[in-house]
Amino acid sequence: MSIAAARRERLSPEESRAAALEAARRLLIEHGPQAVTLKAVAAEIGKTHANLLHHFGSAAGLQSALAGLISARVCAGIEEAVKRARAREADPIEIVDRTFDAFGKEGAGALAAWMILSGNRDALNPVLDAIHELVDHLRAGHEDRPVEETTLWLVLVAMGDSLLGAEMAGALGLDPDKAREVARRALLAMTALGEEREK
């Protein structure tokens, strides 16, 4: 038995689950959502298919847990960016960039689309719950701002861009990042963040 394999054997259940989710995230980013299977993740971390079944119950359970992990990280980053922008410690367009990167580079858009198209809509609940919690946090003390509406259009645009943005922009003769640029302008125009940026 190799040292790496011996170390894997000594992982606690929580560490094994965390290792599996990190492996699933890597597979998602490198190969797309169809690569996130129990068999593939088990091979990545040197565990058995049965071991992952014990932790996640099914491939759908693994995908749901992965969606929850990604959304929690993304929402935490976006919340931080919004708070820093409100305090004039960061450029508000960082909010757009973090959202677009989460759905594009981090694979959240492809994973969400894959789960919806495969009939696994319930696996999106951790994502929706994380976004709802984020909105609640951002609205507190800022009830005069359109937090819900801004979140809705920004998430939908970022998801659409992650799935078809570069191709659509190319078909229209536009720069591949045009949707991100438009979203940045819209965020500044629709919210008080644009006014804060000018101060």
Q: pLDDT of 48-101, one tens digit each? A: 888 888 889 888 888 888 888 888 888 888 888 888 888 888 788 888 999 999
184 domain-assigned: yes
Q: Kindly state whether residues 115 and 18 are assigned to the same domain.
A: no
- Which band of pLDDT confidence, cut at 50, 70 and 90, is reported for residue 181? very high
User: Distance between CA atoms of 71 and 69, rounded to whole angstroms?
Assistant: 6
**75 CB neighbour count, 10 Å cutoff:** 23
Q: Kindly state whether residues 126 and 169 are assigned to the same domain.
A: yes
Q: Kindly state whether residues 85 and 45 are assigned to the same domain.
A: no
Q: Kindly state whether residues 86 and 171 are assigned to the same domain.
A: yes
- Which band of pLDDT confidence, cut at 50, 70 and 90, is reported for residue 153? very high
The two tokens of residue 1 are 């038995």
Q: Kindly state whether residues 79 and 39 are assigned to the same domain.
A: no
Contact 89, 149 (CB under 8 A): no
**What is the phi/psi pair of residue 171, to 5°?**
-65, -30
Contact 196, 92 (CB under 8 A): yes
66 domain-assigned: no
63 domain-assigned: no
pLDDT at 193: 56
Q: Kindly state whether residues 101 and 52 are assigned to the same domain.
A: no
64 domain-assigned: no
Which residues constitute the domain of residue 131?
72-198
Using the 3D structure, point to which of 26, 57, 88 is the last residue of a domain: 57
Closest CA to 185 of 73, 61, 71, 92: 92
The two tokens of residue 87 are 């305090």
67 domain-assigned: no
62 domain-assigned: no
pLDDT at 9: 56
Which CATH number fits the domain that encloses residue 8?
Answer: 1.10.10
158 domain-assigned: yes
Q: Kindly state whether residues 93 and 36 are assigned to the same domain.
A: no
pLDDT over 70 percentage in the chain: 90
Number of compact structural domains in the chain? 2
81 domain-assigned: yes
**How does pLDDT run across 105-115, given as a tens digit for each residue?**
888 888 888 88
Q: Kindly state whether residues 49 and 95 are assigned to the same domain.
A: no
